[in-house]
A and B are shown apart, each in its own frame.
Chain A
Amino acid sequence: MKNLYIFIAVLLIPWSFSLAKYDEFEDGDDIMEYDDNDFAEFEDVNEDTVTESPQRIITTEDDEEEATVELEGQDENHEDFDDADTQEGDTESEPYDDEEFEGYEEKPDASHSKNKDPITIVNVPAHLQNSWESYYMEILMVTGLLAYIMNYIIGKNKNNRLAHAWFNTHRELLESNFALVGDDGTNKEATSTGKLNQENEHIYNLWCSGRVCCEGMLIQLKFLKRQDLLNVLARMMRPASDQVQIKVTMNDEDMDTYVFAVGTRKALVRLQKEMQDLSEFCSDKPKSGAKYGLPDSLAILSEMGEVTEGMMDAKMIHFLTHYADKIESVQFSDQFSGPKLMQEEGQLTKLPETKKTLLFTFNVPGSGNTSPKDMESLLPLMSMVIYSIDKAKKFRLNREGKQKADKNRARVEENFLKLTHVQRQEAAQSRREEKKRAEKERIMNEEDPEKQRRLEEAALRREQKKLEKKQMKMKQIKVKAM
């Protein structure tokens, strides 16, 4: 459908050109014919006037030829005027002199004409030139557009092929682990569609569910924008790779409370700044994983040492070392709420909702020049994901660890409350003021003077009661302090 529209549009552009040009052609031809007919009748009389104007358009090259042609072609001039040869013009003024002084007049004539008439070359304006060549800018533009369209089609198809290659490779593993593979949210019942959801020309989603421990798993294939020529050109400057993002939402009872991340140093630094949970719970800089045998490219961010110890078991280390080049980041968090939300001051009244999540970001090998075969190399990473799900369920913090974790969470909540305390106070105060104002207005609007008095008295009594209460509280605090 979309492609159809494009073709129609592209056809319209050259059609409009041809429309515009035809107008020009028709008018031009008519004028030419008129010129010839007019002058043909008045050959002898108007020769002088006619010859003067064409002289201007003579180019200097023809000067030397002029003289010779003049002498020879003299007799023919009267006969064929249709030639409109400007060279013949010069001879008409001096017919007899040229015949007598063949050899002599050449040079003076030539030099004369050179001195007398400074030849001015006038550029014929482009729209009077009847050639397609003058429209080279337009042709360039249309070629550019066609190139863009070609790239769009090619890029879209490549992304499509890559997505399906990935899915075909991983289908078996997913179907053996999940009851529901593929869902687009439109069916009433939970039936597997067995297909990827195409969100974009470069993003494909897959929702898997129906496994113990986890609520569900969302896989996002984030390919490069191969369908956009601008992006393709930008990538020539800055290489990037396709990414596979996997987000596993865990059940509340299936994961203990900890925040842990491992990945490339660059990715972790960025995540620490961006992600709400990592910035709050993992305050240290990413540490090297060399202690556990991880390659230098990977670093670890953790809430506490015990979590790292627990996570870095033999199999996990095996996975991380063997596929280090494909791993961008791995994040296990019970306080996951996405990236930090940029909210305006005064709007932050509640902590964002958190969900127990495992996040994985993998880079597809090839850094842009991927082929469908490269998708097979991602299969072991999916096994790692499944293994991590089971591991997260099994791993429990010991008593100390739990205490620390709870303390951390309480601390974060307190900080948040403090921050918002001022705002909440202001909100409460403004509400109280509004109530008072509303009451006063009511009193003012009461026409009956008696009622007014009664309402005023009631308001006064209420205020007095409040004051008394406050005084009582102050007294109580003082007593306690003592």
Chain B
Amino acid sequence: LTEPPSPARYKPPASETNPALEDPTPDYMNLLGMVFSMCGLMLKLKWCAWIAVYCSFISFANSRSSEDTKQMMSSFMLSISAVVMSYLQNPQPMSPPW
């Protein structure tokens, strides 16, 4: 069924009108990551810092392409620095909770 093409209408590919409908995961994970890395830094808890690294990875994987890479990188670097600082202050390996 080839229809004679009428004047091609304009895009825009309906940019998300309601960002609240979108998946909130990357934002939550970003926030969680920052909270955990602050905990890890202040309270010198190694496991907090490791969880922060995981959170920032998860946030990165779920992020939209329109989102700022700067914010992603900053939360990333913050969590890495939390891990590094915890180990420099206390080189003892992490003990499992059991």
The interface of chain A, by Cβ under 8 A from chain B, is: 1-2, 5-6, 9, 12-13, 16-17, 19-21, 23-24, 125-127, 134-138, 141, 144-145, 148-149, 152, 176-180, 183-185, 190, 197-201, 205-207, 209-212, 215-216, 218, 225, 227-230, 247, 338-339, 341, 386, 390
Contact = CB atoms under 8 A, between A and B. Distances in A.
A177 B80 contact: no
Nearest to A193: B11
Contact of A212 (B6, B66, B80): B6
A347 B7 CA distance: 39
B30 to A, nearest CB: 14
Contact of A2 (B14, B64, B69, B93): B69
A6 B17 CA distance: 32
20 contacts: A2-B60, A2-B69, A19-B88, A20-B91, A24-B91, A126-B92, A136-B93, A176-B2, A177-B1, A179-B5, A179-B8, A183-B11, A184-B11, A190-B8, A209-B11, A210-B5, A211-B5, A212-B3, A225-B61, A339-B21
A209 B58 contact: no
B34 interface: no
Contact of B93 (A9, A135, A152): A135
A16 B11 contact: no
B48 interface: no
Contacts of B87: 16-17, 20
A135 to B, nearest CB: 4
Given A23-B91, A126-B93, A225-B62, A210 B6 contact: yes
Contacts of B61: 148, 152, 201, 225, 227-229
Q: For chain B, what secondary structure do more than half of its interface residues adopt (helix, strand, loop), or is it mixed?
A: loop
Interface residues of B, number: 45
Contact of A199 (B8, B11, B65): B65
B7 A210 contact: yes
B9 to A, nearest CB: 4
